Amino acid sequence: MNLQIFQVDAFTKEVFRGNPAAVVPLSKWLDDQTMQRIAAENNLAETAFFVPKDDHYEIRWFTPLVEINLCGHATLGSAYVIFNCLHLEDQFIKFRSPISGELSVEKQGDVLVLDFPAYESTEVKISKDAAQAVGKTPKTMFETQGDMAMLVFENEAEIQNLAPDMSAVSALEYREIIVTARGDSADVVSRMFAPRV
């Protein structure tokens, strides 16, 4: 088997910054076990695989342990590879996921703009266990679809200084914990913890 594998640092213009993802262009789907083994060997948070179709690209995402429903930075990385390495001339890419449906990325100059589904969220009472697991009590907490929780903090420094206890995060009822706050030089900053994924 001979595959090209790209590593793309999303959300940055600087080397060794941003959020890395592996991207594997395919001409046809490999079996699930092979894709899972490739993702495990890449050992990045996510590896995206895509297959071109007539008017779209089918896409799937794997962590080193499991296939996941959706991954923003790996989709952005896939679009980057399609535009810049596979030299798509169009300014718009349509992806289809068997789990998440249709997703799109538009090239606007040097910027890639993703259009993703928005998850409904509900504000809930702050979980003492979640606050303890991330190491600080947030100002608010939300639960979203897909067993996720979002903890909102006051500022960027709080997000940067969090030192979560991953075994405690893993014991929570949530599959993913997102921590976020207003950014100093960006609109928002966030981190995500999902040790079981």
- Of 128 and 197, more confident: 128
> Residue 64 falls within a domain, yes or no?
yes
The residues near 159 (Cβ < 8 Å, ≥ 6 apart) are 153, 179, 180, 181, 189, 190, 191
Indicate whether 121 pLDDT > 80: yes
Structure tokens at 146: 């897909």
Domain of 131 in residue numbering reads as 121-193
Query: Would you place residue 38 in the very low, low, confident or very high pLDDT band (cuts 50, 70, 90)?
Result: very high
**pLDDT (0 to 100) of residue 146:** 67
Do residue 83 and residue 18 come from a single domain?
A: yes
| The last residue of a domain, from among 115, 134, 154 | 115
What Å distances lie between residue 77 and 11, 94, 126, 135, 171, CA to CA? 9, 14, 34, 31, 31
Average pLDDT, the chain: 95
Q: What positions carry a catalytic annotation?
A: 46
pLDDT over threshold 90, residue 119: no
Mean pLDDT of 105-133: 93
Which domain CATH number covers 173? Answer: 3.10.310.10
Under the banding of pLDDT at 50, 70 and 90, the label for residue 108 is: very high
CA distances from residue 186 to 12, 34, 35, 190, 193 in whole angstroms, order as listed: 12, 38, 35, 11, 21
- The mean pLDDT of 78-106, rounded to a whole number, is 95
**Same structural domain for residues 33 and 91?**
yes
